[in-house]
Chains A and B, each alone.
Chain A
Amino acid sequence: MIESDDFVNALREAGFDFFTGVPDTILGGIIDALSRQRLYVPSVREDEAVAMAAGAFLGGKVPVALMQNSGLGNALNVLLSLHLIYKIPCLLIVSWRGFEGKDAPEHLVMGRAMPQLTEAVEIAHRTPSPATMADDLRWAGRAVTEQRVPVALFLKQGVVKTVQP
Chain B
Amino acid sequence: MRPEEGVMQSRAQAMHALFGELSDQPVIICNGFPSREAQKIRDRPGNFYMIGSMGAAASIGLGLALAQPDRRVVVFDGDGNVLMGLGTLATIGALKPANLTHVVLDNEVYGTTGNQPSYSRLVRLDQVAKAAGYATVERVWEREDIVYEFKDMLKRDGPNFLLIKVNEQIEEAARVAPAPSEITRRFRAAVGAE
Which residues of A come within 8 Å of B, CB atoms? 18, 20, 41-45, 47-48, 51-61, 63, 77-78, 80-82, 85-88
A77, B51: Cα distance in complex, Å:
12
Known: A45-B87, A82-B56. A61 touches B181 (CB 8 A): no
Cβ of B67 and Cβ of A61 under 8 Å apart?
Answer: yes
CB < 8 Å neighbour of A47 from B28, B50, B55, B61: B55
- A-B contacts, 21 listed (Cβ < 8 Å): A18-B63, A41-B95, A44-B91, A47-B55, A51-B60, A52-B59, A52-B60, A55-B67, A58-B63, A58-B188, A59-B66, A60-B67, A60-B188, A60-B191, A77-B52, A78-B53, A78-B56, A82-B50, A85-B52, A86-B183, A86-B184
Q: Which of chain A's residues has its CB closest to B53's CB?
A: A82
Q: B56 to chain A: which residues have CB within 8 Å?
A: 47-48, 51, 54, 78, 82
Contact across chains for B184 and A87 when beta carbons are under 8 A apart: yes
* Chain B hits for A42, CB < 8 A: 91
B6 contacts partner chain A, Cβ-Cβ < 8 Å:
no
Cβ of B112 < 8 Å from any Cβ of A?
Answer: no
> Which residues of chain B from 144 to 192 have a CB within 8 Å of any chain A CB?
180-181, 183-184, 187-188, 191-192
Does B53 contact A59, Cβ atoms closer than 8 Å? no
Which residues of B come within 8 Å of A, CB atoms?
Answer: 26, 28, 48, 50-53, 55-56, 59-68, 71, 85, 87-88, 90-91, 95, 180-181, 183-184, 187-188, 191-193
Instruction: Please judge, given known A-B contacts A47-B55, A61-B67, A80-B52, whether A54 and B90 are in contact too, CB under 8 Å.
Output: no
Taking the closest CB of chain B, its distance from the CB of A8, in whole angstroms, is: 18
- Whether A88 lies near B184 (C-beta < 8 A) is yes
Whether the Cβ atoms of B63 and A54 lie closer than 8 Å is yes
**Set of chain B residues within 8 Å of A52, measured between Cβ atoms:** 59-60, 62-63, 66, 91
For residue A122, give the distance in angstroms from its CB to the closest CB of chain B: 15
Q: How far is the CB of A70 from chain B (nearest CB, A)?
A: 16
A51→B59 CA distance, assembly (Å): 6
> CA A42 – CA B91 in complex, angstroms?
8
Q: Tell which of A42, A48, A82 has the most Cβ of chain B within 10 Å.
A: A48
Task: Kindly name the residue among A44, A52, A77, A85 whose own CB sees the greatest number of chain B CB atoms within 10 A.
Answer: A52
CB contacts (< 8 Å) of B68 on chain A: these are: 59-60
C-alpha spacing A109/B26, complex, angstroms: 41
Assembled-state Cα–Cα distance A48/B60 (Å): 8
Complex interface: chain A residues within 8 A of B95 (CB): 41
Given the complex of chains A and B, what is the CA–CA distance between A60 and B65 in angstroms? 11
Are A41 and B66 in contact (CB-based, < 8 A)?
yes
With A and B bound together, what is the CA distance between A43 and B94 in angstroms?
10
Of B26, B50, B52, B90, most buried by chain A (CB within 10 Å of CB) is: B52
Q: Please, which residue of chain B has its CB at the minimum distance from the CB of A58?
A: B64
B87–A44 CB distance below 8 A: yes
CB-nearest residue of chain B to A49: B59
